[in-house]
Copies of this chain bind each other. A is one copy, B any other.
Amino acid sequence: MELKDIFPVWEKMTPEQQKRLKRSAVKRTVKKGKILHRGGTDCIGLLLMQQGQLRAYIMSEEGRQITVYRLFDLDICLFSASCMMSSIQFEVFIEAEKDTDLWVIPAEIYKEIMETSAPLANYTNEIMATRFSEVMWLIEQIMWKSFDKRLAEFLLEERNLEGADTLKMTHEMIGNHLGNPREVVTRMLRYFQSEGMVKLSRGTIEITDPDKLESVCGA
């Protein structure tokens, strides 16, 4: 796939702008587990995903984490180019959750084009609004939802993403997604196991009763 096949407003760019994007964008393949971006001082550029899975998370001073959103095929990661906008004043980390093919577009080129291109600026607005909506959803989850529901939802989402009932995940990894200490995750998973919803073994969680897990989410 070429850049033009996945760049969202390609046909609304001028030939000159298209040429600049094409010349500056670099295709990369990143391995699962690779951390692509570490907070505010990094500015590797925009990431345009061809295929794969990334997660954006924040980290406390003590190293606790919480996933703020995930990115999938054809998504664009703006905040890895945070130097592009002075108003972006927060530190986000980006990690590859699966092997990922992506295009890296240098922040200064994107910014330069965006400054004169209303279509690109408006598209960027829509991306930001999408992330904003995800982050607002997260606040609602944290504030109003009990942990059993959040965990049940997370397990079902993972099952969906992996297309498998057995998830290769440690309790610590789940804690890093949901922003909770490992012990809290372990305690709730054991409760789920005692209710027959999951089966735990070293480094894996098997979802044995997805319907019952679903009913926890809705309860």
Contact = CB atoms under 8 A, between A and B. Distances in A.
Interface of A: 58, 60-62, 64, 66, 68, 85-90, 92, 114-118, 121-122, 124-133, 135-140, 142-144, 179
A138 B66 CA distance: 13
Contacts of A90: 132-133, 136-137, 140
A58 B128 contact: no
A128 B126 contact: no
Contact of A66 (B60, B114, B143): B143
A89 B138 CA distance: 12
What does DSSP make chain A's interface, helix, strand, loop or mixed?
helix
A34 to B, nearest CB: 23
Contacts of A179: 143
Contacts of A85: 125-126, 129
Contacts of A117: 118
Nearest to A117: B118
A80 B138 CA distance: 20
Nearest to A129: B87
Contact of A139 (B116, B129, B131, B138): B138
B125 A124 contact: yes
Contacts of A61: 144
A126 B139 CA distance: 22
B89 A133 contact: yes
A122 B127 CA distance: 13
Interface core residue of A114, A115, A136, A179 (most chain B CB under 10 Å): A136
Contacts of A114: 118, 122, 125
Nearest to A179: B143
B140 A139 contact: no
Contact of A140 (B60, B121, B140): B60
Nearest to A138: B139
A125 B125 contact: yes
B136 A58 contact: yes
A85 to B, nearest CB: 5
